[in-house]
Amino acid sequence: MPDLALAAATGSTPPTLCGLGGLGGLGGPRRDYAFGAGLVRLTWPGHPDTQVPEHRGRLAGGTEVYDGAGSWIALISGRPVAGAADGIPWLSAGAADALTLLRLALDQGLAAAGPARPLLPVQG
């Protein structure tokens, strides 16, 4: 298993704070499936380039499309998951790979690097 760390913050806004928590007309998240350690994948039909794992009603990081080439990045508290040896953020080829990387980072206890954000109530 790779040794992971968190890189410097990207300034990326967590999905529920940028209108995906049921705000902005996009509707609430869809809870698709569990993918280990009690994590459930949240997706938004109107925003397919973002996924957020939820654990017991709280956000546990997120994944999103990073660039125009379709690379995905895994984030915890706005900080990209990176290799521990060099601190360079790891990019994933797709959404499933980014979620796997995020789960590995959470398994290594990297969520302790920042507070979990509560899921905003769905409105509308």
Q: What is the DSSP string of 62-87?
A: EEEE-STT--EEEEETTEEEEETTT-
Closest CA relative to residue 27, chosen from 12, 11, 42: 42
Which residues does 100 contact at the CB level (< 8 Å), separation at least 6?
92
Report whether pLDDT(124) > 50: no
CA separation for the pair 123, 113 (Å, rounded): 30
pLDDT at 77: 82
Q: With bands split at pLDDT 50, 70 and 90, how would you rate the model's confidence at 36?
A: confident
Higher confidence at residue 13 or residue 93? 93
Q: Would the pTM of this model clear 0.85, i.e. be above it?
A: no
Please report how many Cα atoms fall inside a 13 Å half-sphere around the Cα of residue 40, on the Cβ side.
11
Which residues does 59 contact at the CB level (< 8 Å), separation at least 6?
14, 16, 52, 53, 116, 117, 118, 119
CA separation for the pair 93, 71 (Å, rounded): 5
CA separation for the pair 78, 76 (Å, rounded): 5
Q: Is 36 left (phi over 0), alpha (psi -120 to 50) or beta?
A: left
Higher confidence at residue 113 or residue 39? 39
- Note the helical H segments in 1-124: 95-107
